[in-house]
Amino acid sequence: MFKKNINKLIIIINIIFFSYYSTQLLIFTDEFTLNNLGFFNHAVAGLSEIIGIIFLSFVVALITIIFRGIDKQAPFIYCIFILQFLVSVNFWRYVFTNSPGETNLYIITINAFIFTFVTALNLLFIIRNYNNI
């Protein structure tokens, strides 16, 4: 019972995480790209919207997992983990090289911490549920 509650909590945190970034990327595309990337053009806005759609798809899939269970969902969970890990590494690369580009280092650092935290939660989720693979 406790294990299932922890699993659901981790999935709900992921849903909130992806919902936040999806909303930012889809609804507030212009402001998000200006604040987080430092500039705006239609190519960047289009890419931001595509990433927002991918994140929204993750939300729908994670909600489905809550209702249907985590059985046979390992490949999907691994894909989410890999995406979050690579985005975290990319954010930390900007932080450690002190090269934020056209945005500021504070925003990149906050995003790096958020992505790292959720990546660590997903690693915990994978270890707890798929350690026999």
**Nearest-angstrom CA–CA distance, 71 and 125:** 13
pLDDT at 40: 64
**Nearest-angstrom CA–CA distance, 132 and 16:** 28
What DSSP designation does 86 have? Answer: H
pLDDT at 57: 96
Q: Render pLDDT for 4-32 as a digit per residue (tens, 0 to 9).
A: 788 899 999 999 999 999 998 888 777 76
| Residue carrying structure tokens 């595509």 | 50
CA torsion sign for 25, 12, 111, 124 is: negative
pLDDT at 12: 95
Q: Render pLDDT for 95-121 as a digit per residue (tens, 0 to 9).
A: 999 887 767 888 889 989 999 999 999
- Residues in Cβ contact with 58 at an 8 Å cutoff, skipping those fewer than 6 apart: 14, 18, 22, 80
Q: How many domains does the chain have?
A: 1
**Nearest-angstrom CA–CA distance, 17 and 22:** 9
Cβ-contact 48, 25 below 8 angstroms: yes
> Which H helix or E strand runs over 105?
helix 105-130
- Domain span at residue 43? 2-130
pLDDT at 99: 80
**CA 85 to centroid of chain Cα atoms:** 9
